[in-house]
């Protein structure tokens, strides 16, 4: 079968991350090593992988802060934090070094059981596959069917968290399906739109306009699809969010900063009955805390996340 002329030309090129061709083929350029589950000696956190659906490949990696449990044996059960990784819906993995090396310290510092979700990626599985997988994983975690969660987890205290595309997932699950969630943490969430907002770079709007139809084919309104633009005129009101508290984290040098700021401002001004908090990391760029988890700004972010989970 003949290939159409130009079908293998580059359509979208994001250096060091991915390259998408007109044929639909993708080259994933950001490929950190995949790490096995097990005991992390540095933090005393144990992890294991659980397959939830062999047909779709949906799985999770669970992190249990064993050292904290041993140090505080009389403490009540631990909150459960369900985490959705970033990567533009087309890169990264719940079992990559990026997330394994961040979630071990997070579980230890916050004293939570973390359930990190391995959802399906585009282009092999366009949206809403990632949303559906993430919702299924949240339902599974909430049901306490896993022995670690059943014995040591408090499923009355569920938190959701995610970075970039994972933050987008958190928002959409809370808007459309989840309720009764104690808290949500959005780390530099990926939101966009068809028009530049105050402080946003034109290049960000252009990239979103190219990428979103590829991620979510047939999306009504293009980049103003409410799943990408929660502040679009036709988007449902933010008062529908199914959590009691939310922490929105942004970085001042991130190209998503303006969108994240506007989201927080709209949320704080909405009829939502929850409590909204804002954390801005000055001089930092997108997901810096995953790339440099030991820098001062990352430590400050971790401290704020731990306090948020504790109720502060």
How many CB atoms neighbour CB 4 within 10 A?
8
Q: Provide the b/e sequence for 255-292 (b: ≥16 CB within 10 Å).
A: bbbbbbbbbbebbeeeebebebbebebeebebbbbbee
Q: Which residues contact 67 (CB under 8 A, 6 or more apart)?
A: 43, 44, 45, 108
C-alpha distances out from residue 138 to 2, 117, 158, 191, 243, Å: 44, 9, 9, 22, 14
> Cis peptide leading into 203, omega within 30 of 0?
no
Adjacent-strand bridge partners of 116: 61, 83
> What CA–CA distance (Å, rounded) separates 219 from 24?
17
What is the side-by-side strand order in the sheet with 181-187? Answer: 39-40, 45-53, 58-65, 113-118, 78-84, 153-163, 181-187, 243-251, 275-281
Q: Which residues contact 168 (CB under 8 A, 6 or more apart)?
A: 162, 189, 190, 191, 227, 228
Given 93, 164, 203, 270, the catalytic residue: 164
User: Annotated catalytic, 116?
Assistant: no
Q: Which residues contact 66 (CB under 8 A, 6 or more apart)?
A: 39, 44, 45, 46
Q: Which residues contact 132 (CB under 8 A, 6 or more apart)?
A: none
List residues with catalytic annotation: 164
């Amino acid at each position: 079968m003949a290939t159409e002329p130009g079908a293998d030309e580059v359509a979208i090129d994001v250096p060091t991350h991915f390259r998408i061709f007109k044929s639909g083929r993708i080259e994933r350029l950001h490929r950190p090593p995949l790490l096995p589950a097990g005991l992390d000696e540095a933090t005393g956190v144990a992890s294991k992988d659980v397959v939830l659906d062999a047909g779709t490949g949906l799985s999770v990696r669970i992190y249990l802060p064993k050292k904290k449990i041993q140090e505080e044996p009389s403490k009540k059960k631990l909150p459960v934090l369900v985490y959705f990784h970033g990567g533009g819906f087309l890169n990264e993995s719940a079992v990559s070094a990026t997330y394994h090396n961040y979630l071990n310290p997070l579980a230890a510092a916050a004293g939570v059981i973390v359930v990190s979700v391995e959802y399906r990626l585009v282009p092999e599985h366009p949206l809403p596959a990632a949303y559906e997988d993430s919702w299924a994983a949240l339902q599974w975690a909430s049901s306490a069917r896993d022995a670690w969660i059943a014995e040591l987890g408090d499923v009355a205290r569920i938190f959701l968290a995610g970075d970039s595309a994972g933050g987008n997932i958190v928002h959409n699950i809370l808007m459309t399906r989840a309720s009764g969630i104690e808290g949500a943490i959005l780390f530099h969430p990926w939101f966009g739109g068809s028009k530049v907002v105050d402080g946003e770079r034109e290049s960000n709007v252009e990239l979103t306009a190219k990428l979103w139809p590829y991620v979510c084919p047939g999306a009504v309104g293009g980049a103003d699809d409410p799943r990408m633009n929660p502040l679009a005129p036709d988007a449902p009101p933010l008062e529908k969010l199914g959590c009691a508290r939310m922490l929105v984290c942004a970085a001042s040098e991130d190209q998503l900063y303006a969108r994240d700021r506007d989201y927080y401002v709209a949320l704080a001004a909405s009829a939502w009955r929850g409590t909204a908090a804002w954390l801005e990391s000055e001089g930092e760029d997108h997901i810096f805390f995953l790339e440099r988890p030991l820098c001062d700004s990352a430590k400050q972010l971790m401290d704020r996340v731990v306090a948020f989970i504790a109720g502060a």
